Amino acid sequence: MNQICISHNPVYGERCNHFSCISVAGRCTLTPMKTAMNIRVPLLALSIVAISMLHYLTPLHLHYLHDIFQRLYYLPIILAALWFGLRGGLVCSLAVSIAYAPHVLFQWGGHMILELEKYLEIFLYNIVGGVTGLLAQRERERGAELQKTAEGLEESYKKLREQSEQLIAIEENLRRAEKLSTLGEMAAMLAHEIRNPLGSIRGTAEILKDDYNPGDPKYEFIDIQIRETERLNRVVEDFLRMARPLPTEMMRCRVQGELETVILLVANDARERKISLLLNPPEVDAVVKGNCEKLRQAFLNIAINALQATPPGGRLIVTTSACQAEPAPGMCEIRFRDNGQGIEAESLSRIFEPFFTTKPDGTGLGLAITRKIIEGHGGTLAIESVAGEGTTVIVRLPVVPEE
């Protein structure tokens, strides 16, 4: 396994990124930073040696050349200070002083008083190396602090963004809870104000229906009245289901058994619509703890929606599998996949909102009720869809161990 390690700089004395290696199979491989480090030290040494040789080999009467050479010593000193900081500048200025001292002592030794500035030059080498190295080191430390501060700000920004997303999600849940609470009040009011009159209207219509024979226009009108009364009563029932909490009594439910029941219930509708209906054998016979009737209702809502969205000649495939890894370990996954018209992206983002529907005669409560049932069983409901390519409804429910 690759491992990045950082060493202490022997010249700078600080932990820095000039020394770094990658350990591969126990061997240390030099990185470009280490390679650059190995090039800089010989380059400085070579420059000091080259300037010293030019200095020693130049005749003494060529004063202007000697002045140039003794000024050239500042270049490796400044470079060493910039590259390696305070210690680098001092070490390099000391090396320059040692290389320059024999030239002063032996070549200019007889003119010590006249060439006093040359001794002062050695002192200046060390001053320049120390001051430049100190400034470079402080600048580097300041840069490291700024980098650390920038990383801290970036981390804080990520945390703030995550918290803001969580707040948005919480706000959305609160808004949905408030809407459901309003639905509860509306359902209670509707149940009181509408169901009793609906019962009277239906009873009266059934009595009137007995007075006419099938085929009579009035018989058909009364039959339509009864069907519409039943549909209005179902709308009221949907309101009540949205507001009614799940029963606390839970039992062991075999998922495949509930799906088989749902397939039998919608089989006739699928034949009339000329849609192929397939329930694949499960990978595992998943068992969940919950209200079997409610789960059957949720699966039935999903299957009916899929059949209504699939054109003749299409298909609906139901598959059950086990989630062994992320994002839902320890859960079973039920997929309802159709090749219908799909859902537009704009509608998909609102698909679970109560009262939102794309059907002309829909109430917009089916999927909202289904989601509430699934979440009440500790599961999740998700929809994947592409317009014109079909829809996949994914239900995940926590499984319970076999007895």
Q: How far apart are CA 73 and CA 97, in angstroms?
A: 9
Q: What is the pLDDT of residues 30-41, one digit of tens each?
A: 455 556 667 888
| pLDDT greater at residue 338 or residue 245 | 338
Q: What is the pLDDT of residue 27?
A: 44
Q: SS3 of 252, please? A: strand
Average pLDDT over residues 127-149: 88
Q: How far apart are CA 77 and CA 84, in angstroms?
A: 10
Residues 282, 320 contacting (CB under 8 angstroms): yes
CATH topology of domain 165-243: Helix Hairpins (1.10.287)
Using a pLDDT cut of 90, give the percent of the chain over it: 11
Q: What is the pLDDT of residue 56?
A: 75
Q: What is the pLDDT of residue 338?
A: 92
Q: How far apart are CA 72 and CA 84, in angstroms?
A: 19
Average pLDDT over residues 347-367: 72
Give backbone dihedrals phi and psi of 311, rounded to 5 degrees, phi first: -75, 165
Q: What is the pLDDT of residue 83?
A: 87
Give backbone dihedrals phi and psi of 20, rounded to 5 degrees, phi first: -150, 150
Q: How many CB atoms within 10 Å of residue 298?
A: 29
Q: How many CB atoms within 10 Å of residue 168?
A: 10
Q: What is the pLDDT of residues 227-237, one digit of tens each?
A: 888 877 777 77
Q: Could you give the residue range(s) of every CATH 1.10.287.130 domain in the chain?
A: 165-243
Residues 369, 238 contacting (CB under 8 angstroms): yes
Q: Which amino acid is at 71?
A: R
Task: Give yes or no for residue 197 having a pLDDT over 60.
Answer: yes
Residues 212, 222 contacting (CB under 8 angstroms): yes
Q: How deeply is 146 buried, as exposed, middle or buried, from its count of CB atoms within 10 A (0-12, 13-18, 19+)? A: exposed
Task: Give yes or no for residue 183 having a pLDDT over 70.
Answer: no
Q: Which two tokens mark 153?
A: 């700000």
Average pLDDT over residues 375-389: 87
Q: Could you give the residue range(s) of every CATH 3.30.565.10 domain in the chain?
A: 251-398
Q: Which two tokens mark 32?
A: 């470009």
Q: What is the pLDDT of residue 19?
A: 40
| pLDDT greater at residue 398 or residue 23 | 398
Task: Give yes or no for residue 165 having a pLDDT over 80.
Answer: yes
Residues 126, 93 contacting (CB under 8 angstroms): yes
251-398 maps to which CATH number? 3.30.565.10
Window from 20-24, 91-95, 217-221, 335-339 with minimum mean pLDDT:
20-24
Give the number of residues written for the chain: 403
| Range among 121-125, 161-165, 170-174 rated most confident | 161-165
DSSP state, 342? -
Q: What is the pLDDT of residue 246?
A: 54
Task: Give yes or no for residue 182 having a pLDDT over 80.
Answer: no
Helix axis angle, 292-309 to 366-376, nearest 10°: 140
Q: What is the pLDDT of residues 228-287, one digit of tens each?
A: 888 777 777 766 666 565 555 678 889 999 999 899 888 888 998 999 999 998 877 888
Q: How far apart are CA 83 and CA 136, in angstroms?
A: 8
